[in-house]
Each structure stands twice: as structure tokens, then as C-alpha cells.
Amino acid sequence: MSFKHTVRFVAVLLLVVAIAPSVTLAATGIPTIVPSECNQTGGCPSVCSLAQLAQNILNAAIYLAVVMSAVLFAWAGFLYLTNVANAGQHERAVETFKNVAIGLVIIVAGWLVVDIVMRTFVGASVLPWNAIC
């Protein structure tokens, strides 16, 4: 088996190992993004349901961003370690590290801005803004 086929096999195996638990846990009742009361005719009945929907969207987006950044950090580390002699690939790996770190900072800053704005609208000082309901 060539190196290319080995890498492809390992990538598929890791993908299956990463996805299999989420597929099996889907039947156990993991909370969905849309609250159950918003699935009725007429949409969300209250502002509290909309706040819960917003919180669920933020949590899912941050979870996805952290998972993707971990994968990209691993890829950049792989490039960094396997292409020490190749200056172009080395620079590409360093650039990937830098871009992923900047992306994470932007995501966390965006979450902080949304949290501050929602606290201002709700009037919460210490509690999380979605705990008011």
C-alpha cells in the first residue's frame, strides 16, 4: 500500500471514529437547536423560546468552530512536522496556524459581543441572559 493510500485510509478511519458516536447518540435525545415549543403552528410562542433558540444556535456554532479549529490545528501540525525541509510547505503550515488562531479569536470576540448586547437588552447583570426566562 502506498503512502497516499495509507493516509487516505487513516483519514477515513478517523472520520468514521469521529462521526460514529454522534450518530449513535442521536437516538438518545440530544437536545436539538429548535426548542420543541417552536415546532408548533405559529412558531415560537414567547420571547423566552426565542432566547433559547438563540442560545442553542450560538452553542452549536461555537461547538462546530472549536471542532473545526482542532482539525485545522492538527492539519497544520502535520504539515509542519512532515515538511521541515520544504520551506514553502513550512510557511504554509505556519500561516495555517496563524489563520486558525485569528479565526478563533474572532469567533470568541463575536460571541462576547452577542452576549454583551443580549445582556443589555434583557437587563441582566450577573446571570446569563437566557436564564432570565
Domain ranges of the chain: 1-30, 31-131
3-state SS, residue 46: coil
Which residue type sits at 50?
L
Distances (CA, A) of 34 to 21, 43, 53, 61: 22, 10, 6, 14
- Cell triple for 7: 493516509
Which residue reads 423560546 in cell numbers? 49
pLDDT digits (tens, 9 = 90+) for 44-68: 777 777 777 877 888 788 888 888 8
More reliable by pLDDT, 31 or 122 = 122
Mean pLDDT, the chain, rounded, equals 78
**Distance in angstroms (rounded) separating the CA atoms of residues 16 and 8:** 12
